[in-house]
Amino acid sequence: MGPVPRTLELFYDVLSPYSWLGFEVLCRYKNIWNINLQLRPSLIAGIMKDSGNQPPALLPRKAQYLRNDIRLLGQHVQVPMQFPKDFFSVILEKGSLSAMRFLTAVNMEHPEMLEKVSRELWMRVWSRDEDITEPQSILAAAEKAGMSTEQAQGLLEKIVTPKVKNKLKENTEAACKYGAFGLPVTVAHLDGQTHMLFGSDRMELLAHLLGEKWMGPVPPAINPKL
């Protein structure tokens, strides 16, 4: 028997491009490091509101910087990222409430599908500039991830239920309790201590805390092709 895997929680929202980067890196390392990765779909809008934070792109210089940052990081991490053409409409007006409720329902009923469905929603919004708010968009992502139409339809019907709504709220509140002011947030539970790391660029620090080896965002053993 080797050492018990350490629990990592990743709080994320598919509206957040940095969440996608953190998600892919942790998914690559989950079988390399001795960790138990728990994906926690959360609502970035709720976290921003609760913490009094503002979306970074509201500041023109930051918006300009983000565009380039996302492009370069996408190349570096090997994630096919593309800024949505109408960024403000996609991010600030349409949001991700239905998509994140859907992922919450997936996690409650088919947790083994959560990684793939999350990735397909990111592919839509942050790679192909496609909608993630309409029911048919969410169904298309679920089916592309390998769900049957019936399965996906059944989960979609549940996003209006108090059970699913409350679970998403719970995850979002849990992130806030850990001190989140944006996403992604990785929470490492180590030797009775809790470490909250913000952003997708703290993975080297995470490796240090875990006593694991950091081999860059694309570890050699991994085929990063998405």
- Look up tokens 């996690």; give the residue: 107
Superfamily covering domain 6-210: Glutaredoxin (3.40.30.10)
Give all strands (DSSP E) within the chain, no chain letters. Answer: 6-12, 35-41, 185-190, 193-198
Catalytic annotation present for 16: yes
Q: Show pLDDT as tens, one digit a residue, over the chain (226 residues).
A: 778 999 999 999 999 999 999 999 999 999 999 999 999 999 999 999 999 999 888 899 999 999 999 999 999 999 999 999 998 888 888 999 999 999 999 999 999 999 999 999 999 999 999 999 999 999 999 999 999 999 999 999 999 999 999 999 999 999 999 999 999 999 999 999 999 999 999 999 999 999 999 999 999 988 888 8
Burial degree of 85 (CB within 10 A; 0-12, 13-18, 19+): exposed
Q: Token pair for residue 49?
A: 């509101």
All structural domains of the chain with their residue ranges: 6-210
3-state class of 110 per DSSP?
Answer: coil
